Structure 1
Amino acid sequence: MSAIKTGSLQVLSVQEVIDCARNGNMGCDGGDTCNLLDWLVASKTSIEPEKIMVGQENMLMTLLASHGPVVVAVNALNWQNYLGGIIQFHCDGGVDQLNHAVQLVGYDRSGPTPFYIARNSWGADFGDRGFLYLAIGSNICGLATEVASLDVL
């Protein structure tokens, strides 16, 4: 309907509707399209484009601040030798390079190089007691390519 009205076809996020819709809808356990449409109108919710988070680090930081930790897919190929500091160069973020997942638990924008705080699964002997730091703003290691978050019910 939007394409008919605007003349431009925009693919909208099915996952957002599955995850967010209320009014009797139950995510992957099923729902009703009429209830979905009623919920969209009542809540004045706009459906986001299909690629909600890809490269959108401002949205990622907002999600971290307002919702809590998120899981991201990354390219961790060069991380085996990480001893500390902020990773800000030489880490390909291409979608075909993603090979690991970490949990982003926060960020710090107070210094000259703003960074995300990532908890890795390689144990407390890795990096800074199991954590590492990834520069904000350049989709370093692909961290803003595949982002997942959930609500605890």
Structure 2
Amino acid sequence: KEIRDQGSCGSCWALAAVEAMTDRRCIASNGTQNAHISAEDLLTCTSVGDCEGGSPVGAWQYYKRQGLVTGGNYNTKQGCLPYTLPSCEHHINGSRPSCDGEGPAPPCSPKCIDGYPIPYEQDKYYGESVYSIGEKQEQIKTEIMKNGPVHAMFGVYADFLAYKSGVYQHLVGPYFAGHTVKILGWGVTNSTPYWIVANSWNEDWGDNGFFKIIRGRDECGIESGIVAGAPKLK
């Protein structure tokens, strides 16, 4: 149920990846490995992306080849490398300051925060495999049911930014940007099928940070670029 916040940085590709990696590791280990995989490590210490965007497939490949340390949200002191970019309001007015574009990524710091008992290299968790999932909704549903949430890409239009509740489908407004998110489930309301999706714009945006999007017709491309992977259990 956790929602992360990418801050003033186009790091959705890293956040959606580590959210799904964290959940999948917890599921595959029957809850015995529930460490948060670090978005900070993936964002700052890899060459697959930065605050101007990145490669979802590249994120999963890095996890498999190089491994990622643990790290919680901003200000949590959780794990080896917690997120260092502060929360901000994404396309809405709220209690936090407004996000201001996409600043530079913080520098890579291949050592854990003071007080964390495990050295950086020993704190790494690895992926076992990386794969893409077909765009038929039954394939996506089977994957989620069997292995956990998946990492999806889609096109954001102006009307998505103002989403509050209900099942989103693009109706009006210009294209805004590409975005990546974590799909964690599905359902039907008033005979409209939908995906349940976690965004990375904190809980003030949307429906407590989540949104529903119409399922089964590749809305805004959400079903056509899905990737995931299996964890290598410790």
Scaled by the length of structure 2, the TM-score of the pair is: 0.39
Taking the aligned partners of 1:64 and 1:77, their CA distance within structure 2 comes to: 26
Match of 2:194 in 1: 115
Q: Deviations over 1:84-104 (max 9, x none)?
A: 11013438xxxxx87000100
Match of 2:137 in 1: 57
Q: Which runs of 5+ in 1 are unaligned?
A: 1-14, 20-26, 30-50, 92-96
Taking the aligned partners of 1:111 and 1:105, their CA distance within structure 2 comes to: 20
Match of 1:135 in 2: 214
Match of 2:171 in 1: 90
Aligned residue type for 1:60: I
Please identify, of 55-64 and 119-128, the stretch whose mean Cα deviation from structure 2 is larger: 55-64
Q: Partner of 1:72: helix, strand, or coil?
A: strand
Aligned residue type for 2:209: G
**1:151 Cα deviation after fit:** 1.4
In structure 2, relative to structure 1, the CA distance for the partners of 1:64 and 1:85 (3 Å cut) is: same
Is 1:100 the equivalent of 2:165?
Answer: no
Taking the aligned partners of 1:142 and 1:98, their CA distance within structure 2 comes to: 12
**1:63 Cα deviation after fit:** 0.8
Aligned residue type for 1:132: F
Higher strand residue share? 2
Q: Deviations over 1:43-83 (max 9, x none)?
A: xxxxxxxx851x32210111111111001001122321111
In structure 2, relative to structure 1, the CA distance for the partners of 1:52 and 1:150 (3 Å cut) is: closer
**Is residue 64–residue 105 contact of structure 1 (8 Å, CA) maintained in 2?**
yes
In structure 2, relative to structure 1, the CA distance for the partners of 1:52 and 1:151 (3 Å cut) is: closer
Q: Partner of 1:82: helix, strand, or coil?
A: coil
Q: Partner of 2:153: helix, strand, or coil?
A: strand
Residue correspondence of structure 1 range 41-52 to structure 2 within 5 A: none
Percent identity between the two aligned chains: 25
Scaled by the length of structure 1, the TM-score of the pair is: 0.58
Higher helix residue share? 1
Q: Partner of 1:99: helix, strand, or coil?
A: strand
Match of 2:150 in 1: 70
Match of 1:35 in 2: none
- Alpha-carbon RMSD across the aligned residues, in angstroms, is 3.0
Is 1:80 the equivalent of 2:176?
Answer: no
**Is residue 197–residue 211 contact of structure 2 (8 Å, CA) maintained in 1?**
yes
Taking the aligned partners of 1:149 and 1:52, their CA distance within structure 2 comes to: 8
Aligned residue type for 2:163: Y
4+ runs deviating over 4 angstroms: none
Taking the aligned partners of 1:56 and 1:118, their CA distance within structure 2 comes to: 17
Taking the aligned partners of 1:131 and 1:122, their CA distance within structure 2 comes to: 9
Q: Which runs of 5+ in 2 are unaligned?
A: 1-56, 67-131
Taking the aligned partners of 1:123 and 1:81, their CA distance within structure 2 comes to: 14
